[in-house]
């Protein structure tokens, strides 16, 4: 089995991204499955090309995309991605779409094809807070989840995929107005590893 695990580069002026730092710590082999890691640009347009290229190149059985969600207190297993880009801030290319469809020929939404209920249960059992989330937002994270599931439905139906949001790192919330939740990269990496074991 081959798993494609993606993360994003830093954005919004932060020198780090909790998703990137955590994914770096995930083992390259889990229960015999190969884990291929790819860093995506935090840009609406380039991330579309990057996720398609990664799937085409690596031909994974599973794709799990990881994104940072500042302000969230737990690991969020995303249930659905919607066909809309609506940036509350510009992306790393300075692009800030407003209520734009991601794909004109795509449905209003795609649901994850990962076993998120079981993943959530096992992450919690391992000692890390986790929930099923019904909103991936409308920024680049939702964009990538939608693009991923669009391509899987259209071109790679044998592959399953989905998205996980993770909290900020402790160093990212220093000086922030409380409450400013965070989680260590080691804990996030452990939770991702548990999730992948469930999928495997």
pLDDT on residue 174: 87
Domain ranges of the chain: 2-199
Q: For the whole model, what pTM was predicted?
A: 0.96
3-class secondary-structure state, position 110: strand
Residues in the chain: 200
H or E element: which one contains 185? helix 185-199
What distances in angstroms separate CA 120 from CA 42, 98, 138, one per listed residue?
A: 26, 32, 23
Q: Which CATH class is domain 2-199?
A: alpha beta
pLDDT in tens, the chain (200 residues): 999 999 999 998 889 999 999 999 999 999 999 999 999 999 999 999 999 999 999 999 999 999 999 888 999 999 999 999 999 999 999 999 999 999 999 999 999 999 999 999 999 999 999 999 999 999 999 999 999 999 999 999 999 999 999 999 998 888 887 778 999 999 999 999 999 999 99
Which residues are part of the catalytic machinery? Answer: 78, 141, 165
Q: Which of 136, 177, 144, 134 shows the shortest CA–CA distance to 39?
A: 144
- Quick one: tokens of 44? 């609406």
Distance CA 107, CA 129 (A): 32
pLDDT the model gives residue 71: 87
Which residue do the tokens 């860093």 mark?
A: 39
- Name the residue among 154, 167, 174 with its Cα closest to residue 66: 167
Q: What is the pLDDT of residue 25?
A: 98
Q: What pLDDT sits at residue 176?
A: 80
CA 156 – CA 158 distance, rounded (Å): 5
């Amino acid at each position: 089995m081959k798993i494609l695990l993606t993360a994003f580069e830093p954005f919004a002026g932060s020198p780090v991204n909790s998703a990137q730092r955590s994914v770096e710590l995930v083992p390259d082999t889990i229960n015999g499955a190969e884990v291929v890691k790819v860093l995506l640009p935090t840009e609406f347009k380039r991330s579309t090309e990057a996720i398609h290229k990664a799937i085409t190149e690596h031909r994974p059985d599973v794709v799990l995309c990881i994104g940072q969600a500042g302000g969230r207190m737990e690991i969020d297993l995303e249930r659905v991605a919607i066909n809309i880009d609506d940036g509350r801030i510009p992306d790393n290319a300075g692009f800030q779409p407003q209520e734009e469809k991601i794909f004109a020929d795509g449905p209003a939404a795609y649901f994850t094809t990962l076993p998120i209920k079981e993943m959530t249960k096992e992450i919690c059992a391992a000692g890390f807070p986790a929930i099923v989330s019904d909103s991936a937002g409308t920024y680049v994270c939702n964009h990538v989840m939608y693009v991923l599931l669009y391509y899987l439905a259209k071109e790679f139906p044998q592959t399953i995929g989905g998205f996980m949001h993770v909290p900020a790192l402790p160093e990212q919330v220093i000086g922030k107005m409380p409450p400013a939740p965070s989680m260590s990269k080691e804990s996030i990496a452990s939770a991702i590893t548990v999730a992948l074991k469930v999928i495997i």
